[in-house]
Structure 1
Amino acid sequence: METASAAALTELRQVGILDCLILVVDDTDFNRTLITAMLRQAGFRRIEHAVDGIDALRKIDHEMPDLVILDIVMPGLDGFEVCRRLRAEERYADLPVLVQTALSNTEDRNKAFQLGTTDLITKPIDRNELLARVRIHLENRMLIQDLQLYRTRLENELAMAREMYGHLLPTAAIFDQIGRDSGVRIRHHRAVSSELGGDIWGVIPLPGGRFGLYLLDMTGTGVSAALNAFRMHTVLHELAPLASYPSRFLTEANARAVGLFESDERAAMIYGVVDPTAGTFSYTTASARRPILVRRGAATAILGEADGAPVGHAAESVYRTRTLTFGPGTMLLLYNNAVLAALPGDGGRAAERTLADLAVPALQAPGPDEACDRMVEALARAVGDRPGQDMTLVLLAKDACTFPWAER
């Protein structure tokens, strides 16, 4: 049963089509007059005429009609050619063309549809048939226009959201500061999907050349995931006084997230502190993936440990801190869940090992820029044509005194 709002919308459309512009194209004055009289009697107010195909194209170019009622058999430029020229231009792709014809030959009818005719009306024209077809195609036209406007508005809003999203990510100035203070070079890569995602990452400078680094991956996609990512960005930077202590930092972030998220919303997260003096990466995880560490010249990568309940699951969750040696000649790779989900396999520990095996040759590059490029290329080859969500890779390389590229 149609709701009151749907019925009102239908009524508005029916009223709206009466103001649509209809172009009647026929070389016979009597036919133009007859069709116009039928349309005006039904309430259509905006009707224009064209006396042949050339006149029709000129008037369509001057003002786009909402529907064309087109005769096929005309001297000079016939209806077939008018259709062909209209459909050759993208701007006329959705323009309804209602052909009136006395042709009964199946081949001619097929030709009309092949050239882009929307519908056919047989001569002599029946009033009820004409009005029914005009109404349905104008209603479809209005529906298509509404959908196009909605899509344009949605695309603009998504573009704005993605731009805002980009402002949450670390800037080149922060990378430069981290490089000067710690000797650690940071590079990253994001593969953005068609949907708005909820993964963010960032750095928090700390005293003594140390810095904290987080990568948070919201479950799901869309506006809800993005809004939660924005909220968590604010929360994480409010917790900067705790940033030297990974387990306390993540425990408090989780407690706050429980109050922000809906009951079924969760996030995976890794947070760690790089201490260049001690040569360590101390980190804690909440349902996040294991960090991958590669030492220059090593044949295999080291996979860290990862556990912990997802962020937002339970306020009482507590997270433990682990430590990896992160000294000169070492590169560290962090990544979100979508990276593993895009790889062949079940996205579990086997996929982590696959990614680690890809990382070993890639991260043997002489510098972080080339290493990041090689890692992205290796991942692209492994993923192939599989569709994916937003994928994030963060690469850390230590340190300036070891790698000649650090001076560039």
Structure 2
Amino acid sequence: MAQNEKKSVMYSALEVAEICGVVNQTAINWIKKNSLKAFKTPGGQFRVSPDDLAHFMKERNMEIPVSVLSECEDSRFLPRSLLIVDDDRGLNSVVAKYLSKNFSDIEVYQAFDGFEAGSLMTEKHPGCIILDLDLPGIDGFDLCRRINETEKFGKPVIIVVTALETENLEEKVASYGVNNFMRKPLDLVSLVNMIKSIFE
């Protein structure tokens, strides 16, 4: 998602304290000592961006909640995992093996239907989803919209893959917030490069 499309979420010192599991004064002290980057509102209140909070927490080996990660613009904070959603079991497995071989530090999950995909997205919060639009019993376009509109999946980056020949297909998925698009048959080298650009 482009920076100007990102929701401008900012955290108060109290919210920072709650996220980090400390008292409010501790968060204020972090800010006053310039350990945690923040700015002041015209009313004198501190505000911290999701990226600055994530940087701060990462430096201190604190677990960063998915709710914070999903608001970050810096792709380095994407969970190092991806989910392949395709009902073609053979292709799904080939892609999974190829990506596991090329990305030893990224966890690869597989789903073969929409129900399985929903469960894994909710439980694992993958940073990236490779999504076949033509899934049985599911509207792939609607799924793209729901993934991008709800917080519960952690706002992963979606790569749509499809064999559909519908006119203006790429523009249609872009209207649902998906800017990564590939047609089948898949070029696995191009897919690897796309994933590299997403995570790096």
Q: Same fold (TM over 0.5)?
A: yes
Structure 1 or 2: more strand by fraction: 1
Q: Does 1:43 align with 2:90?
A: no
Counterpart of 1:32?
A: 92
Give distance in 1, aligned partners of 2:102 and 2:116.
Answer: 26
Give distance in 1, aligned partners of 2:198 and 2:164.
Answer: 22
Give distance in 2, aligned partners of 1:23 and 1:89.
Answer: 17
Give distance in 1, aligned partners of 2:117 and 2:154.
Answer: 16
State the 1:92 CA deviation: 4.8
Q: 2:167 is aligned with what amino acid? A: T
Of 175, 178, 186 in structure 2, the residue corresponding to residue 125 of structure 1 is 186
Instruction: For structure 1, list consecutive stretches of 5 or more residues without a partner in the other structure.
Output: 1-15, 140-408
Counterparts of 1:280-291 in structure 2, within 5 Å, are none
Secondary structure at the aligned position of 1:120 is classed as: strand
Task: Quote the sequence identity (%).
Answer: 27
1:61–1:94: structure 2 CA closer, same or farther, 3 Å change rule? closer
Give distance in 2, aligned partners of 1:80 and 1:55.
Answer: 17
Give distance in 2, aligned partners of 1:94 and 1:85.
Answer: 10
User: Do the aligned partners of 2:122 and 2:152 also contact (CA within 8 Å) in 1?
Assistant: no
Counterpart of 2:28?
A: none
Secondary structure at the aligned position of 2:197 is classed as: helix
Greater RCO, CA 8 A, separation 6+: 2
State the 1:106 CA deviation: 3.4
User: Do the aligned partners of 2:122 and 2:153 also contact (CA within 8 Å) in 1?
Assistant: no
State the 1:114 CA deviation: 1.1
State the 1:75 CA deviation: 0.5
1:31–1:59: structure 2 CA closer, same or farther, 3 Å change rule? same
User: Do the aligned partners of 1:57 and 1:82 also contact (CA within 8 Å) in 2?
Assistant: no
State the 1:95 CA deviation: 1.5
Secondary structure at the aligned position of 1:105 is classed as: coil
Q: Does 1:79 align with 2:140?
A: yes
When the two chains are superposed, the root-mean-square deviation of aligned CA atoms in Å is: 2.2
State the 1:91 CA deviation: 5.2
State the 1:80 CA deviation: 1.4
Query: Which aligned runs of 4 or more in structure 1 are off by greater than 6 angstroms?
Result: none
State the 1:41 CA deviation: 2.2
Counterpart of 2:81?
A: 21
Counterparts of 1:1-12 in structure 2, within 5 Å, are none
Give distance in 2, aligned partners of 1:91 and 1:114.
Answer: 21
Q: Deviations over 1:266-314 (max 9, x none)?
A: xxxxxxxxxxxxxxxxxxxxxxxxxxxxxxxxxxxxxxxxxxxxxxxxx
Larger radius of gyration: 1
